[in-house]
Amino acid sequence: MKIALTAAALLLASTASAKTVVVTADRMVDVLSGKMVEQPVVVITDGRIASVVSAGTQRPFIPEGAERIDLPGKTILPGLIDMHVHLGGTPLVQGYRALEYTDSFNTVMAVPNAEATLKAGFTTVRSLGDYDYADVALQQAIDDGFLPGPRIVPATYALGATGGHCDENTNRPSDAKTSPGVADGPEAVRAKVRELRKLGARVLKVCATGGVFSRNTDPGAQQMTYEELKMAADEAHMLGMKSAAHAHGADGIKAAIRAGIDTIEHVSFIDDEGIRLAKEKGTWLGFDVYNTEYTLSEGEANGVLPENLEKERRVGTIQRENFAKAAKAEAKMIFSTDGGIYPHGLNARQFAVMVRFGLSPIQAIRTATSNAAQALGWEKDVGAIAVGRYGDIIAIEGDPLADVSLLEKVDVVIKGGERVNQDR
């Protein structure tokens, strides 16, 4: 009896200390059903969603003493997810201009960049390649409440070939450097995946082809063999990590898909066979279709090298044509913007480009919510306003299913049931 009483007292105490937040609004986009829900009432207990009802049809249970976040006139959606950002990337410092700054510059800049990303409504991001383990430090600082920012899935350094897109190719030979992510040959790749995991990586990023922003690499050319990619994907999966491949060229894209890589990033020159393969294997495609405008209008002033601008011109148009093809073929899509190539916080500008090139607004919204959550393997945690998931919610004016560009202006951000301060 005594024990039972103690247990009851403990239960009471824990109920009393549970923090409950109630969010109400005019409308909610239910990304899972694709429908608009009127008068939503969302109850968040200790950071996770405990119930979601429509006040018109059901009576919500609101615990006494609950904190209220009433958002009259607003439409709420799940917190957005960008599957490809570089939080340490600062678009104003490109090309050789980066050599004027000290080594930890990118690490320091990652702090305001993470905050800008969160305030723009992105409550979860994958950091697909950062210097100095900045993404791991940020993840720790944010998760432990020292800094504002999104939930971060860090890749640390991108794994790639010697002289490839993710190596250090800017210096002259006498100052040559090798990226800590470089590995050549399957066994070296195996060891590198284990090392990155040990140093904090929670997703593996590989560079399967050349890229736009590196020196002396051809975006169309494959840079990792099928055997290396297969080793990378298998080793990541064994360690419980998803894998992402930077891939522009058609051959590198197909090799990465066949190797079992989970998400293909950029996807610029994908051909019909690649689209068919991606559908067959269930591979997610992350076309970064927004940043071309920014690079072509601001890049030169920011120090982007002529070689890189020329490559962007070559890649941008074809990438959008192939995005339209993949959209028509109903390939599985995620929201990957390459944030850091353009200023952090403008991520949502990609929605309108996705709609312009063939997705419906709800399809575009799903790339950054329910689809992204699945691709992360976090479908129980993020990507929808649904029971059990984190209380990650954004509020905007108007109907994003009619005009998806409304997502570019997020008025309120709630992460884990906590309202984010938008004033600072």
Binding residues for Zn ion (CB under 5 A): 338
Considering beta carbons, is residue 119 or 165 the nearer one to Zn ion?
A: 165
Ranked by CB distance to Zn ion, the top (closest) residue is 338
Considering beta carbons, is residue 139 or 263 the nearer one to Zn ion?
A: 263
Cα–Cα distances in angstroms (integers) from residue 105 to residues 35, 134, 186, 260, 349, in the given order: 45, 10, 33, 35, 26
User: DSSP state, 45?
Assistant: E
Measured from the CB of residue 73, what is the shortest distance to Zn ion in angstroms? Answer: 37
Measured from the CB of residue 339, what is the shortest distance to Zn ion in angstroms? Answer: 8
Measured from the CB of residue 128, what is the shortest distance to Zn ion in angstroms? Answer: 5
Residue 109 dihedral angles phi and psi, to the nearest 5°: -65, -20
Measured from the CB of residue 414, what is the shortest distance to Zn ion in angstroms? Answer: 28
Considering beta carbons, is residue 338 or 392 the nearer one to Zn ion?
A: 338
Measured from the CB of residue 360, what is the shortest distance to Zn ion in angstroms? Answer: 26
Strand order in the sheet with 263-266: 203-207, 242-247, 263-266, 284-286
Distance CA 150, CA 119 (A): 9
Measured from the CB of residue 225, what is the shortest distance to Zn ion in angstroms? Answer: 22
Considering beta carbons, is residue 42 or 158 the nearer one to Zn ion?
A: 158
Cα–Cα distances in angstroms (integers) from residue 177 to residues 47, 163, 172, 370, in the given order: 44, 10, 9, 40
Distance CA 134, CA 149 (A): 13
3-state SS, one letter per residue, for 254-307 = HHHHHHCCCEEEECCCCCHHHHHHHHHHCCEEECCCCHHHHHHHHHHHHCCCHH
Considering beta carbons, is residue 69 or 334 the nearer one to Zn ion?
A: 334
Considering beta carbons, is residue 340 or 383 the nearer one to Zn ion?
A: 340
Q: What is the dihedral of CA 258, 261, 262, 265, to 10 degrees?
A: -100
Considering beta carbons, is residue 25 or 304 the nearer one to Zn ion?
A: 304
Measured from the CB of residue 336, what is the shortest distance to Zn ion in angstroms? Answer: 8
